[in-house]
Structure formats: structure tokens, C-alpha cells
Structure 1
């Protein structure tokens, strides 16, 4: 049976398990949409903004280990995909973008909506298949799909409008694609070197990233053998929970003291599957063994003593027999006490007896964590909501967490939740968003309603870009409400207008009922959580420069207040109420 270019592409996508395609259509994609309409293997999920389509596709790639697919028509529509695709690239998720293009005869004439997409996507996509003739489709499309699938990266297929309906006469190159990723092992001699370094350590710590997802048991066993603490990155929070063996928690800007000191006070650090970006949290003068399957990650963040190129699970299976039992539990026990003290403080911060208003955001995060399903998916936006998730939400068992953790793009949380919920509407999905992030993506709440996606959204509504405000203050800058302040609608009422449901919460006694109402709802649901803009998100350790900057910020705010800037006094008042309750 003959196929046109678009029908042939759908066959390739079906072969790797694709079902949902997120996007906004346009004339260059009309033939592609017609092929989807008549093919029961696929579902087109039309969104209101292409950026949200790319984030949704990322979610499906991350959760399935396969690829996610998004689409946008010629210049403007294709360009709107860029931010979400950058997120997929930096999170190492396989996402394929399908973009339209103007007809060949119009190229180079500055035609309506014409953009040189190959140049625009060159820094994002590891491969771009520009289909200039139908004979190219099978071979180039399979390369693009294969690279996205196994290299876990972003790729693109470009469909000029005058090619989309052309018949693919030669399918010589069509073949089943490789779907399983290979394991990698370092040479035996290098494993011996690593074992020698580790065995000579007195205070060994394991620093684990998302590359440990398939190696959790091996990591826990090695930590037990060494009597070593396990520190993890934010992305690995849904791999290692505080209840797992020797886990002491996160380090970094939103980490805890135990995680920070485990890395800072060890004499041998074993980095496993992590590309942790904050090199200031890794000390000098220690021995570092790093395991990663990407050679470019080895030594990228710290001057390593030894790099092992390999997948974590297989490398630890070969390394573990070479490791001697640890001699002392003193280091681990000290960090364990520090961890337990921190967890107690976090529980106290989130106790529902703290009824100060506006409410403390931690109360909502813990209430959700305590009541969400054991396999819930948490889609986290960027900003202070990330801090509350890191500190008050537990991700044990089958829970997962997705977000823009490396790209750090505001507005990612909600559209990621759309992708996750579309994958399995029966699975509980939470979007944890700040008011700034949700405001960037809320146009697609109607998409969740349209496609019956019963996701739950909590909007931490403090009428402020809170994390940005804190960054400004640490830099020594005074409050600037015109830049960081927000004017918000009633998000719960907005949800209802869109056809979903929601509730606005201003009192502590209403938090648990709101969470339970959201869980019980079969509609997309928004909890509009009115929280304090004065809550401080303090790092596990504060440098003199940060303390000085914050102090200078307060001094400048005081001077501006004396000069009649009442917003400065309001900011002080909110911070005092949130952090020093009477």
C-alpha cells in the first residue's frame, strides 16, 4: 500500500510506541494532521501554546524512557517549541519535534513566516532531518527517532508544505529501531584503581544523581558495606528517600546541612551518575572517583582523582566485590543525627498549628505529601515551590518527580503535568507551581479540561516572584515591587470558568479539606494557596558574602522606607511575620 510522507512518519513513530502528539496545527502541518485523524494509533492533543506542547512531550519521554513528540507549524509555531525542547535536552529526555516549513520554491525570498529553522535549532537538536524529497523520509526520520530514543536528546524533523503529501515510493531503509540502551563497563584495571582509592578513605561519601535510577539497590548495598552516607541531587530525590538506608539528603542551594557536610567533610567522594552543576558545593583537597556513561561529564564539576566511564549499575556490580567493609560508623552516625534534626525542623515548619496568615507554604506541601497516592507524579515548577517540594514532599515508593531542574525554566511545571496525566489519567498527577510559573502556562488549563485530564494543581500564591526577590536581596539589592510583584486573579475561580474545579485557601483549617477535595475530583483542579511572601528559603550554609548582601539589602530597604517608600516596610513586615512568629 502506498504511503505519503506523513503516513510513513507515523509508521516509524508507532514502531517505538508513540501515541500522543502535542502541538498547535497550521497550514504546513495540515497533511500531517489528516494522517493522524485517520490513524487510530495516535491522539493529537492540541494545546494553546507550543512551548507547553514541548514540556508535555518531555514528561512522556521521562516517564516512559521512550520518546515524546511535539509539533509546530512553520516559523512562529516552530520557534515556540524552543524553550521546552531546551528543557528536554538538558534533562536528557528523548523528544522529537516535528515542524512545518514553507514550500521549497519560496525559500530564501523572505516569504511569510519563513525562518531558517536549521540555524535556530542547531544548538538544541543533536540531529535535524530536513525532508526535501519523499525518498529521504524513511532513512532520515528513522535516524532522528533513533537518536532521540537512545541518546535521550532532542531531535527535529522538518516537513516543507510541498513535500507532505508526496508519495514515498521507496521504503528500502525501513527497519525496526533499537529500543534498549547498552550497558557500559570501565576496564578492570580502572576498577582496581577506584577500589584502592575508596578503600584508603576514612570518611567516604556517595554523591548520587539521576544516573542511579536503575542502580538503586547497588548504591544502597555499597553504602551499607562502606558505612557511607548517600547524598543525592534534586533530580535523584525520587530515587533515594530518607527512609532508604544511609540516605542523608540533598546538598546544594536547597539542600540540608547533613547533605552539605557529607560532601564537604568527607575525604573520598564517589560521584555516581551526577552532573551536579554547583561546583561551589564540592570542596577542594579531597579524592574524587566519578562514574558516568558520558565522557564529557567526567571532571566537569570538580578535579577528579579518577574517572570511570560506565553505567552506574554495571560498574557498581563489578566494583563492589573489590571494596572492603567500612571500619567506623562515626561519620555516618554524626550525619544521621544532623539529618534527623533537620527533618524534625521541616515537620515543625509544616505543622498545621502554624495558623499565621498569610499561610506558610510548607503547610500545603506537607499536607499534599501526606495524602497523595503512593505512585503520584509531582511536576514541579521553578522558584520557591521547588524548595517546598525538596524539603516537605517525600518521594518514597513509586512516586516520581519531574521538572526543569537543569534548564530552570519558569512555567514548566503545569504543562509537564499535562503530559504526565495524558500518559495515564488514572495515575494521580500534581503540578506544584508558584503564581509566576502557573501564570505563564495557565492558558492550557482548558486543554486539561478538554482532554479530561484530572490533574491537581497547587498554586503557591504570594503575589510575588519570591525566589527572584530573595536572589536580589542576597545580591544586596532592595525590594523592587514593580519587577517582582504580581497581580493575580482568583486561580480557583479561573479553574471553574475553564470548566474545571478549584478552591481558594486562606486559613490553615481549610488546607486538608482542600487537598482531599482535589484528590477526589475527576476534573482538573486548582488549589489557590494564599501564602506569605515573606517566607525565607535559606540554604544549608550561608557565606559571608551572602550574609553581607542580605544585610545591605535590608539597610537599603530601610533607607527607602524612611524616604516614603511604603512597599519596603510592607516587605519587612511580611518577612518578620513569616519567620519570627509571636
Structure 2
């Protein structure tokens, strides 16, 4: 049988080590699907219900494995649906290849059905973006696309007209004299780690050694450098602050860390950023400058493998372009071990107080159920190597503060894009990549409802994911954002009846439970985690529970008060929740 372009694509993906494609077929990629079919014993196609989920799955797969994620969609609407998940990959710097279809070359430009020029559509999201127009471009352009995705840690996109997909890979429809075939070089699946230049390290060490109140801010770029981060922090007597995507870098129960930063972070982390005179940023270009030291307050050292990210938020006194683990290994011998640990000790005591406050918010007596208690029950029952995926919204606050990184635990969410709905697709892809691990999706009712059909995908593929729904029957984060702006809430709560997603899970043939009583919650969580297949717990939580910042500023309190004076609905229930939280924090 003559090899067609679709088959050549599949074969070359296998040579690059790709074993899974997430996608949804359509007549715009039938030739590609035939190529995938011919290699189905080695190349698995995970059929989804919505293309957006396919892109999220490819992104989650890439985040959890460090390997290339691949998604495929048909022409027109299918390709458009991929975009949200692809922007998630781009903004969080993970390698994803998107493969889409295109109308036959003979009808392009004729307003043919579903004719959307995806190379124009994808020009912002994809670092490499090409419509294949000659069978002999394969597999060279695929190599180039994959190399771009892996080396730049971003999105690459190839789109294939229908007639090209089924053409013989040796065919040259133009019969022209080619200057030469594209290079078909051997795949390099893993990239070498980049060491730091010695002059950059010397400059960084000078800045750090001169500081008296040194803080570290670590992000997901420091993943895999846990031991090195802790060793440098120990030498500098530095508290470690973590970005939300970088939550897994250092255990939450380690005495050197004060936890996260920002709206979802901790009070000690925010306050030490206001006091430090030196900041070491490792593997992060943290976007929220208002939570960083004021300009001129602190000298800054930044370590990042991507030089384009240097100095994006603060002026940098020493920039080290290198792999985080290698750079910290090289930097450590140049550092003077700090004997004065008063700055660290101060914030260790503040951290202990903060953790005690958070523990008291996990109150099992509250009804409706406190979302902090829900997350606490999951945290207590989950395995020490469990992987938690999360959506954007109030659930991110509860998971940031009440999901404890310990042992081999991991944590994934949409970092910079902060989009709704990736939690479930992430969990499916990560469970596929790590079949022996416990994978838990902690999601809100809003995000789950967007792509809930993919729970059926998990059932059909026998992926034993666990889904925990923090159900407040509203778009909780938007509700509180409206209030913080000083406006009464509007159009953010769903009408009755409330959904019973546990019934949906049972209808899919999985474990499903609906919980409204806090006394029943721990047992329901344990049953779901122990279930051998997919499981879902839909928990009704207090819809008026505020995701309060770690440190409430005057302007936030002022706008909160103004919203109530303007006629905030549910004001008594909201005030009761705030008062109860404060009472719990003050309770010995």
C-alpha cells in the first residue's frame, strides 16, 4: 500500500516518541485519520467530545510529562475550538503541536464551506505555523514544527488541505525542480540543560551576598530543582515564596517556605515582599507586579532559561540565563552562608500563625459546607503522590491554600491564561500519562459544566480519574470581583434547580455522589478515591464564602463596603460567612 501524507505524518510522530493524539475527527482530516488508523497499534487516538478539551488534554499531558502534547481537529470550527487550550499552552510555556485540516487546494479562496484560513487565525498563538502545500514537504516540515515547539516551549501548528492528506508522500504535483529535500534529521526528544555563564553567576553571587533581607520567588521553571532551591535558601537564610504554578516546587510543609504570593497567596509572603532588600527569582516571570517589591526597594537576581523573560516585571541587577537546577548548583559554592537568620525566623513565625488560621477555616461544623473543609477533606484523604488539577475561579484559592504539597504530590492549573474548564481535560490526559498515579480534578460547577461530556471520555477509556466539584451554583470568582470593584453582584448565580452532577456520573456508569451534609463528606471523598474506576463527588458548598486575599488592603475593604451600601444581594448571608471566618481565625 502506497504511503500517503497522513501515514507519513503518523509514522514520523512515532519516531519523535509521540504515542498519543487527543482530538475529534471530521471530514477536514479524514486523510490524517486514515494515517493514524494505519498506525493505531502504536499511536493512540483519544476521542474527545469537544476540541477545546483536546487542546487542554495536550497541554496537560505536556505539563505533566515534559513531552510534546499533540492535538488534532478538523477544518473551520474544529480548528477554532482548539484555540483556548492552545493559548493555555503558549502562555504557560509548554510544547504542543496542533494539527488541523483545510479545504482542498482547488477550492481555496472560493468561500467554500468551513473555509477558515487557520494559518492567519493561529499566527499569534503558534511560533511555527504552516499550511502544507506539497507532499514532499513531509516529513521535513513536521520535524521543524516539533523542534520549534520543544525548543521554544510553545505551540506549533500544521494544517493540511484534504487533497494533500491522501496524496502519495512521494508525489510532486507541481513537477518543479526542488532545491533539495527538507532535512529529515534524527529526532531529539529531550533537550540538553543549559548551564550558566560564569560571569553571570559571579554577578548574581555579589548581589545576593550583599543583601541582608533576601527572599526567593520560585516558579514552575524551577520544577525538578527542589533540592537546589532548598540548598540555596538555606545558605541565604531566605524564605521561599512560590508562584501558583510553582506550588509543587517545594513542599508546603517545609519550614523554609511561606507559601504562595498574590490574591491567592499568603499574608506572610506578601509582607516579606514588602520588606526584603534582595529578591532571587528562579524560573518565573511572575505577572502581578503589585505584589513584588516596589521599584528601587530591592536588588533583583533572575534565573531563567528564556532570556526574553528577564526583567519583565522589575529591573534586574543580575540576569542568569540557564536551566534552574544547573544554575543553582553552580551558584551555591559562590554564596556566603548566612549566620543572621532573623529575617527568615520572623516569617517562619508568621507562616505558622497563617497555617493555624487556615486550619481553623476547615470547620466541619459549618452548614452550608465550607469550601475550605471540602478541600481539606480531599487533602487529608489523597495519596502522597497524588496529582491535583484545578480550574480557574474560587477553587484555585481553596486549592492554593488547602492542598498540601508533600511527598511526590503535583499540582496543575491554567497559570497565565487563567481560563475556565481545563481541570477535567488535564486530569484525563495526566491519568493517561501516569496510569499508576491518583489523579484528582478539583473543579467548580461552572467549569465542569462547560466540558462535562469529557467525564464520559474518562469512563470510555477506563481512566480512573476522581472529580471533586465545589458546587456553589454560581460563577463565584466573578461574583467577588464585582464586589471588590464596588458594584453589587449581577448575573453570576444560576437559578434553581441546582445541578446534581453525581447523577450524571452514575448515568455514565461511574461512581457518583451528591453531598450536602458536612458529616457525610469525609466518607464520600474516601469512597471516591478508593473506587477502582472514574468517580465524582458533587459537593454543595456555601455560595457566599469569600475568597479573601491573604492581606486585605484599604481599597479592597472600601469597595467591598460600597457594594453592600449599593444594595448587594445576599448581604446578610455574605456578612455571616465573613464573620464566621474571622471568628474561626481568632479561635484558639
TM range (shorter): over 0.9
Question: After TM superposition, what 4+ stretches of structure 1 lie above 4 angstroms from structure 2?
Answer: 566-582
TM-score (norm 1): 0.95
CA distance in 2, matches of 1:168, 1:175: 17
CA distance in 2, matches of 1:228, 1:215: 16
For residue 279 of structure 2, give the secondary structure of its aligned residue in structure 1: strand
- 2:330 matches 1:321: no
CA distance in 1, matches of 2:510, 2:162: 37
Aligned pairs (5 A) from 1:541-556:
541-556=551-566
Q: Is the 8 A contact 2:135 2:167 kept in 1?
A: yes
Per the TM alignment, residue 62 of structure 1 is displaced from its structure 2 partner at its CA by 1.2
Partner of 1:458: 468
Query: Cα deviations across residues 346-382 of structure 1 (Å, max 9, x unaligned)?
Result: 1111143xx2211001111111111111221111001
List runs of 5+ in structure 1 lacking aligned partners.
559-565
The verdict on how the C-alpha distance between 1:305 and 1:486 changes in structure 2, with shifts beyond 3 A counting, is farther
Q: Is the 8 A contact 1:260 1:281 kept in 2?
A: yes
CA distance in 1, matches of 2:514, 2:60: 28
- 2:155 matches 1:154: yes
- 2:207 matches 1:197: yes
Partner of 2:177: none
CA distance in 2, matches of 1:520, 1:193: 52
Aligned pairs (5 A) from 1:9-408:
9-39=9-39, 40-169=41-170, 173-284=183-294, 285-352=297-364, 355-408=365-418
CA distance in 2, matches of 1:346, 1:253: 15
Partner of 1:562: none
Query: Cα deviations across residues 246-302 of structure 1 (Å, max 9, x unaligned)?
Result: 112111111112211222211111111111110001122211111112112111011
Per the TM alignment, residue 426 of structure 1 is displaced from its structure 2 partner at its CA by 3.1
Per the TM alignment, residue 486 of structure 1 is displaced from its structure 2 partner at its CA by 5.5
Instruction: Name which of structure 1's ranges 536-545 and 501-510 shifts more when overlaid on structure 2.
Output: 536-545
Aligned pairs (5 A) from 1:428-507:
428-480=438-490, 482-485=491-494, 487=496, 488-507=498-517
Query: Cα deviations across residues 513-556 of structure 1 (Å, max 9, x unaligned)?
Result: 11111112123211111100111111122222111111101111
CA distance in 2, matches of 1:46, 1:108: 31
Instruction: Name which of structure 1's ranges 255-264 and 436-445 shifts more when overlaid on structure 2.
Output: 255-264
CA distance in 2, matches of 1:342, 1:552: 28
Q: Is the 8 A contact 1:360 1:578 kept in 2?
A: no
Q: Is the 8 A contact 1:85 1:154 kept in 2?
A: yes
Instruction: Name which of structure 1's ranges 426-435 and 186-195 shifts more when overlaid on structure 2.
Output: 186-195
CA distance in 2, matches of 1:434, 1:469: 14
For residue 470 of structure 1, give the secondary structure of its aligned residue in structure 2: helix
CA distance in 2, matches of 1:575, 1:489: 26
Per the TM alignment, residue 306 of structure 1 is displaced from its structure 2 partner at its CA by 2.2
Q: Is the 8 A contact 1:207 1:270 kept in 2?
A: yes
CA distance in 2, matches of 1:375, 1:15: 31
The verdict on how the C-alpha distance between 1:574 and 1:265 changes in structure 2, with shifts beyond 3 A counting, is closer
Aligned pairs (5 A) from 1:411-430:
411-430=421-440
Q: Is the 8 A contact 2:196 2:330 kept in 1?
A: no
Per the TM alignment, residue 37 of structure 1 is displaced from its structure 2 partner at its CA by 2.1
Q: Is the 8 A contact 2:463 2:533 kept in 1?
A: yes
Instruction: Name which of structure 1's ranges 298-307 and 454-463 shifts more when overlaid on structure 2.
Output: 298-307
The verdict on how the C-alpha distance between 1:304 and 1:48 changes in structure 2, with shifts beyond 3 A counting, is same
Q: Is the 8 A contact 1:475 1:549 kept in 2?
A: yes
CA distance in 1, matches of 2:287, 2:485: 20
Per the TM alignment, residue 219 of structure 1 is displaced from its structure 2 partner at its CA by 1.3
CA distance in 2, matches of 1:511, 1:546: 33
2:522 to 499, 504, 512: 512
Per the TM alignment, residue 175 of structure 1 is displaced from its structure 2 partner at its CA by 2.8
CA distance in 2, matches of 1:543, 1:420: 38
When the two chains are superposed, the root-mean-square deviation of aligned CA atoms in Å is: 1.9
CA distance in 2, matches of 1:141, 1:341: 54
For residue 45 of structure 2, give the secondary structure of its aligned residue in structure 1: strand
Partner of 1:561: none
For residue 191 of structure 2, give the secondary structure of its aligned residue in structure 1: coil
Q: Is the 8 A contact 1:479 1:568 kept in 2?
A: no
Per the TM alignment, residue 569 of structure 1 is displaced from its structure 2 partner at its CA by 5.3
Per the TM alignment, residue 574 of structure 1 is displaced from its structure 2 partner at its CA by 5.8
Query: Cα deviations across residues 57-105 of structure 1 (Å, max 9, x unaligned)?
Result: 1111111111111111001011000000000111111111110100001
CA distance in 1, matches of 2:197, 2:468: 49
For residue 166 of structure 2, give the secondary structure of its aligned residue in structure 1: coil
Q: Is the 8 A contact 2:60 2:427 kept in 1?
A: yes
Instruction: Name which of structure 1's ranges 421-430 and 333-342 shifts more when overlaid on structure 2.
Output: 421-430
Per the TM alignment, residue 572 of structure 1 is displaced from its structure 2 partner at its CA by 5.0
TM-score (norm 2): 0.94
Query: Cα deviations across residues 149-185 of structure 1 (Å, max 9, x unaligned)?
Result: 2322111111110011111128873332122223334
Q: How many residues align?
A: 572
- 2:540 matches 1:539: no
